[in-house]
Amino acid sequence: MKKLLTYIFILVSVLGCSNGPDGKALNVELQTKLDTEFQKDLLKVKKLSRRGSYSYSEIGESVKRLMVYYKADLEFKSDYKLTDWNTLNVGSLSYILGATASGVQGIKSVGNKKGDVLTVFGTASYKKIDGKWAIAAPKYKQLKGKAGGQKKFVAEIDESEEYDSNLPEYKKKLKILGNIFSEMDGKQDSKIIQVAEFELQKILQKARMYSAMQNGVVTIATGSPLGNYFAIGKGLEDLSQKKNKTKAYATSGSVENCHLVNEKKVVFSIVQSDMAAMAYKGTELFKDSIPMKDMRAVAALYPEAFMIVTLKKANIRKFSDLTGKKISIGVKGSGHRADAIQVIKAHGFTRSDFSEIRETSFRSAIAELKNNAVDAIFLTGAVPLTALNKLNEEHPIHIVSLHGKIIKKLTQTIPVIPMILPGNTYKGQKGKIKTVGVTALIVTHKDTDKLVVEKLLSTLVDQTSELAKRSVQANNITLRSMRRGVTVPLHKGASVFYSKKRK
């Protein structure tokens, strides 16, 4: 039986590989993509082998598609630092190669030298036109099979744990909740139950987070389960030792995370650096809160750029072209919205200069831009963003560059840093984009044990390559950059750690 299964596997592999372009064609196409979409004459395809393929079709599409898997060795033809914040980074390279976070190996945080080799496990998407296979943009939403979709987040519940039934007060409150559901009129039961399940999962998630904290677990508040903050947090969780057990939890993001750290409900939080500064001073989004003077910085992780995104066909090339246009700036309480308002103010614009300002989520804003419901979206995020790569493949985008005077004004008035998005950050982007940005910052409370902080920093420095298998952005973490863009005082444990590293 075992031999039969082996023969079947070999047969399937051979049949799969007989479909579509061969290794030689893949080699040529990959080299062309590297030269045109990344940087010319930087990387040479030294070796490539095809590893298999599978066919699929998009819903409502008759064209046959093929996803091809390959392994390749790429040799540097000159020195290059893929972890530099102002150059094309490993995120852009991974997208071009069709690789996952762990699919590019051999990156050096101090920079790669001429002759160094990257090992890549990548994919290439094709579609059949007039009987011939042609390179195609990857389809994100409806792919099925090995490369298919994203998993939905479900709050982690350990069903092996028994709850204490001797808690009458809690049981009484839950019974009241049960009575409310039993009295539903039946018209919208399914929707109500969906909302209830979602809210209850969040409550359980928070309860577990608070409980873990009280039981000595090093807890980390992150963000959306599909975002980089969560991926970094889960990476730190996976790399933690039994003596220093770490657990990452999904949250709504920076604003909540600042409050969680300030109230000692988590040990660490990952936040936007400008949000941390606002919380520390009690300004902007935190103007109704007492300044969080006990917040301390641990490390900057990677840069997040402010971007004004339009469609190329809209012919919006500079900020003044947005006059009379419809824009989306992000939901209330979000970092997107706070940054957008500051940029609008810096230009001397007011609400009346736009025909409409929408406060919608990033996901909704992308859909609205595609459907011409808005002319531009304002956002802050790591580059390149997968959602923008997807949008760009279907509807070519343009990112509006900020004028030097505006960048100077912003850096002097709010806690942001100048940033440059080099050409080819997004496919079709010819020149560099000047903008401002923030850093993804790990913060904690001043009372956190300094040894706990030092251990986390040691993991960040010593296990960067392992973290990069969870999030491409982890490649940007270097000892030098960990103090860049820090907007609140350093924790005493972090100060000790960095002073030791300087010796």
Q: CB-based contacts of 457: which residues, under 8 Å, 6+ apart?
A: 298, 299, 482, 493, 494, 497
**In the block, which residue shows the tokens 């969040």?**
202
Cross-strand pairs, 60:
none
The CA-based angle 445-447-453, given to 5 degrees, is: 70
Find out whether 145 and 125 touch, Cβ atoms under 8 Å. no
Q: What is d(CA 464, CA 72) in angstroms, rounded to the nearest whole number?
A: 23
Q: What is d(CA 166, CA 168) in angstroms, rounded to the nearest whole number?
A: 6
The per-residue pLDDT for 162 is 35
Give the 3-state secondary structure of residue 124.
Answer: strand
The per-residue pLDDT for 199 is 65
Q: How many CA atoms lie within 13 A of 442 on its CB side?
A: 30
pTM for the whole thing?
A: 0.75
Q: What is d(CA 458, CA 232) in angstroms, rounded to the nearest whole number?
A: 15
What distance, in Å, lies between the first and last C-alpha atoms of the chain?
62
The per-residue pLDDT for 87 is 86
The per-residue pLDDT for 137 is 66
Q: Which helix (H) or strand (E) holds 273?
A: helix 273-281
Structure tokens at 171: 């049981």
Q: What is d(CA 253, CA 224) in angstroms, rounded to the nearest whole number?
A: 7
Find out whether 340 and 329 touch, Cβ atoms under 8 Å. yes
The per-residue pLDDT for 148 is 33
Q: Looking at 347-477, list the stretches that DSSP marks H as alpha helix, in order from N- to C-terminal side.
A: 362-370, 386-394, 404-413, 450-462, 464-467
- pLDDT block averages, 10 residues each, the chain of length 503: 44 46 86 93 94 74 80 96 86 89 86 95 85 68 36 30 46 63 59 65 72 83 83 91 82 87 94 93 87 97 95 94 94 81 94 93 88 94 88 93 96 90 91 94 97 94 89 88 92 94 63
The per-residue pLDDT for 172 is 61
Q: How many CA atoms lie within 13 A of 470 on its CB side?
A: 21
The per-residue pLDDT for 201 is 67
Cα 338 to the center of its chain, rounded Å: 19
Q: What is d(CA 278, CA 255) in angstroms, rounded to the nearest whole number?
A: 10
Q: What are phi and psi of 111, to 5 degrees?
A: 110, 145
The per-residue pLDDT for 302 is 92
The per-residue pLDDT for 240 is 84
For the chain, what are the domain ranges? 2-135, 208-503
Torsion, Cα 205 210 214 215, to 10 degrees, reads 10
Q: What are phi and psi of 421, to 5 degrees?
A: -100, 105
Q: What is d(CA 434, CA 160) in angstroms, rounded to the nearest whole number?
A: 53
The per-residue pLDDT for 502 is 63
Cα–Cα distances (Å) from 34 to 75, 93, 105, 338, 459, in that order, read 12, 8, 17, 36, 33
CATH of region 208-503: 3.40.190.10
Q: CB-based contacts of 244: which residues, under 8 Å, 6+ apart?
A: 218, 452, 455
